Chain A
């Protein structure tokens, strides 16, 4: 047994000793029930250690990094090949000074497996994998792209081969590209059918600027510009071993895993083209703060409000920990969420509230809150949310509230490492982000070092009413009531063409 597992076991044993005592002390009758039982700041998992000792890291000669976690308790093996590739790179210049078509990164990622690999077309790959009960698929987002394969551990070599072919030899067949582009276009049609999805789209466009890569939704006109040449060019420019970390977890033997990857990806080399560097974060062009509404008849409307957030200065950035605690208190998933406590638990206006004071590592995070609410309670709910923001800025949170928030976050740490797949995945993400492996282990101590004044300081800096961009999608709100909340700028958003998403007419 490894050191970390052994210490985790010891902690569990200590916890067990306290079980009987806990059983008899939970409930107290009558009025004594008013206060939580026991100190909230004492972590219930004091001995939890991030189980990175279960990880084996290997680097092949071509720079490809493997992260392996053996877990013989389940019959599967999961392989996640993650690349430092995504829509973020579309802002880099393409060959000969041209630009990448918007959305190309995501489309290339989707074609890694769908269009077939090596000598197999997409259908043959499906026949082969489905017969074995395996899944092979690819993914692409703003910062990451890659291939996922999952199957029975006895099929390890086959799975590794499919992953290798998807990374190095996707077919990008013209007919398949046409077919999947057509499917992508069809899928676009149904994206904006709810008030929530429309509100989120409009808010992103207002916060970043309509042409920013994080805000620009994929449009049909973009998809029509994807060519076979562009797909191949993007792939050869960015899909490289040095940008790749592969996490493997399951009922495997590490030496077998390494041999399989050496066999199938050991010769994956540099294509001879210099790797593009960067990019720098794209310039943001936020709209003026204010309330923007898109009037649409609906039984319930949606608010999204917020502004740009912080970017982490370093992995030792102390402000980041204060922001994390502020986020938990503002609208986190634990019991202290101020917004949920007010809008749902106290007023009963909403079913749920989501939100965060976000902090990004590659790009700035987002400060955001969102909720759906009946039109008759809309203005009141917005007013209440603004009051909660103001209260966080004005007053230090009580020690008890901070303690519960901190404990919620610390106690949740083990859930991030519940399976071998999660352990391997998080370790791999450390490598891709250059995040120290000690980051998670030290998190509890860092959070304990955050004081009430740190949180209030973070609130004053990162919850700024004067910068709020508020979007409402639902029945039109009464302007006078909105103005009473302090919004001087109230803008009606235009309807948009569903293909181009360009405004089709301006509302009066």
Chain B
């Protein structure tokens, strides 16, 4: 017996055709969306050439905007990002980018206060007292600081921004700060679009930088939760320092000792330096008309004045002071060829190679190479897990950041009790696998490339099915320097050739004749004597 409640989406089917070229055909964006007349810059708009109907614009002041119309979505996912993150923290000011991100939730002169005119001088006095106390402890200053904070407490309204969002149906999805960018996310019904743009502009342009001490405590707690309480995390930070040397990518983010000494004026300086229109990207995904979104963006974020009097903070690092977005590129400066660490975690051996930044044309080839190596039928699992009983897992990972990138191959051990000798054997096996990619008899085959392409194309489609995921992808791509990535993804993946991959391996991953062995080796041994399972202190 068949019971049917069919009502179908036949009109939808005719509206957007998605087919396959090789495996995925690049479909145009929806018919009927007029090309926007905004031609304020050479960069926008760009016609969609891939299967996602992404419309990209650049406002007159440099703010970039990506919009995707999704007719099935009754809810809008939106966000914005700034191209500045923990790697841009001034020297001695670890946590600055992260603190600015937090303080943008504490309001503005018109949000989060009962009386800004009364609050503002108190905020300045609070900042002055904190600075003096950091310089020289004084009971009088402490007493005065307590009084000031008490008065501020009566004026400030924590949570006011959240209440305003709620009134417009806007649901904050939080923010995050990476080495390269900070990203702010929300979702709302279409009716909340204008409110969202206005409130975001308000806090982006005029943050009050209030409640700094509270947020310093919160960020310290956050760091404890994410790093200090996770056995593997300190090891990763140590490896980063070893690999990157003096490069800002090697500095551990949110060092508590520095973070609690960051001053309000330093945050304001960071904000002035980096939160300027040309560093900002906005993304909106939902059942929206791109031209309408453009209009709202133009009337809000488009009014953000380009900062002309940018001055780097006094103690800014050379790398970040006044630097253009995502420039300059940074190089790894390893402290040696091998680093060994111990933790209460699975033993592993890895080789990390310098690669290319996110926007580099070779970045996609590294993605394809990782796909060749990964998966149960990939080279590493077949070559290492299938043939060695001591190996639990083997994989490759490509991490492209805004100003540099890395490519890693990793092997994890089955047993906790392995010694360093076995891990060194893993390293040799990983190098042999990489060498085999360019050896004549085991060189890459067309079927491997085809498999890798199919995996990447399908996984990209899978990754952006949900509106919020698509929104975040668009922001991250742009913040890392490649706003075209998603739209060009199919073409770029299809364009990667075996010759290109072979050249990449020869250039970055295996030594040429007479050259030293590339890459830095990291060995993780299990903590001696530690009992797994949280069973004993």
Contact = CB atoms under 8 A, between A and B. Distances in A.
* Chain A complexes with chain B: yes
Interface of A: 1-3, 5, 8-9, 11-12, 15-16, 18-20, 22-23, 26-31, 33-34, 36-40, 43-45, 48, 51, 53-61, 70-76, 122-123, 126-127, 130-135, 150-152, 154, 182-183, 186, 188-198, 251, 254, 295-300, 334-336, 341, 344-352, 372-374, 404, 407-408, 411-412, 414-415, 417-421, 473, 495-499, 501, 504
Nearest to B116: A30
B181 interface: no
Nearest to A189: B532
Given A15-B190, A419-B72, A45 B16 contact: no
A1 B11 CA distance: 6
Nearest to A250: B465
Contact of A130 (B2, B213, B376, B467): B376
A45 B110 contact: no
A9 B224 CA distance: 46
B221 A23 contact: no
Contact of B461 (A3, A74, A131, A296): A74
A415 B187 CA distance: 9
Contact of B75 (A407, A414, A496): A414
B221 A349 contact: yes
A56 B6 contact: yes
A374 B221 contact: yes
A251 B73 contact: no
Interface in B523-537: 531-537
B160 A299 contact: no
B461 A76 contact: yes
A472 to B, nearest CB: 13
Contacts of B496: none
B25 to A, nearest CB: 8
A35 to B, nearest CB: 8
Contacts of A58: 2-4
A45 B191 contact: yes
Contacts of B160: 33-34
A302 B50 CA distance: 47
Contact of B189 (A44, A191, A195): A44
Interface residues of B, number: 113
Interface string B46-69: 000001000000000000000000
A182 B2 CA distance: 45
Contact of A44 (B169, B229, B344): B169
Contacts of A374: 220-221, 224
* Nearest 6 interchain pairs by C-beta: A498-B533, A133-B458, A44-B169, A192-B534, A133-B454, A348-B214
Residue of B23, B112, B378, B416 ringed by the most chain A CB atoms within 10 A: B23
29 contacts: A11-B74, A22-B195, A26-B194, A27-B198, A31-B115, A37-B164, A38-B167, A44-B192, A45-B191, A55-B7, A126-B375, A133-B23, A150-B458, A194-B231, A299-B229, A300-B225, A345-B158, A351-B221, A372-B229, A404-B163, A404-B167, A407-B169, A408-B166, A411-B188, A415-B75, A418-B74, A498-B531, A498-B535, A501-B533
Interface string B192-228: 1111011100100000000101110111111011001
Given A27-B199, A72-B17, A414 B113 contact: no
B438 interface: no
A241 B224 CA distance: 48
Given A40-B167, A74-B461, A254 B16 contact: no
B299 A23 contact: yes
Contact of B535 (A61, A154, A496): A496
Contacts of B199: 26-27
Contacts of B51: 74-75
Contacts of A20: 194
B9 A75 contact: no
Nearest to A344: B218
A36 B11 CA distance: 41
A150 B462 contact: yes
B160 to A, nearest CB: 7
A350 B221 CA distance: 6
B429 to A, nearest CB: 19
B305 interface: no
Given A182-B414, A197-B534, 20 more contacts: A1-B11, A3-B7, A12-B287, A15-B191, A16-B292, A37-B164, A39-B167, A53-B7, A72-B9, A73-B16, A135-B458, A189-B346, A190-B346, A192-B532, A297-B537, A300-B224, A352-B225, A418-B467, A496-B535, A501-B533
Most B Cβ at <10 Å: residue of A11, A31, A412:
A31
B443 interface: no
B114 interface: yes
A59 B457 CA distance: 33
Given A189-B533, A419-B72, A57 B4 contact: yes
A132 B23 CA distance: 9
A349 B5 CA distance: 53
Contact of B113 (A33, A43, A133, A404): A33
A473 B8 CA distance: 53
Given A346-B158, A495-B536, A37 B454 contact: no
A27 to B, nearest CB: 6
A195 B3 contact: no
A334 B110 contact: no
A164 to B, nearest CB: 19
B127 interface: no
A36 B6 contact: no
A338 to B, nearest CB: 11
B318 interface: no
Contacts of A36: 163-164, 166-167
Given A45-B189, A150-B462, A351-B218, A418 B73 contact: yes
A366 B205 CA distance: 43
B513 interface: no
Contacts of A251: 18
B13 A72 contact: yes
B171 interface: yes
Q: Which of B168, B222, B456 has the most CB of A within 10 A?
A: B168
Contact of B414 (A132, A186, A192): A186
Nearest to B113: A33
B466 A418 contact: yes
Nearest to B30: A73
B168 A73 contact: no
Contacts of A498: 531-535
B296 A127 contact: no
Given A349-B221, A374-B224, A193 B168 contact: no
B455 interface: yes
Contacts of B211: 348
Interface in B223-280: 224-225, 228-231
A31 B115 CA distance: 5
A71 B23 CA distance: 18
Contacts of A186: 346, 392, 414
Contact of B190 (A12, A182, A190): A12
A504 B414 CA distance: 25
B42 interface: no
Interface in B285-304: 287, 292, 296, 299
A44 B110 contact: no
Contacts of A44: 168-169, 188-189, 191-192
Contacts of B296: 19, 23
A130 B299 CA distance: 47
Given A8-B74, A22-B194, A501-B533, A70 B221 contact: no
B492 interface: no
A426 to B, nearest CB: 14
A46 B466 CA distance: 23
Contacts of A33: 110-113, 160
A134 B228 CA distance: 38
A73 B72 contact: yes
B12 A296 contact: no
A23 B194 contact: yes
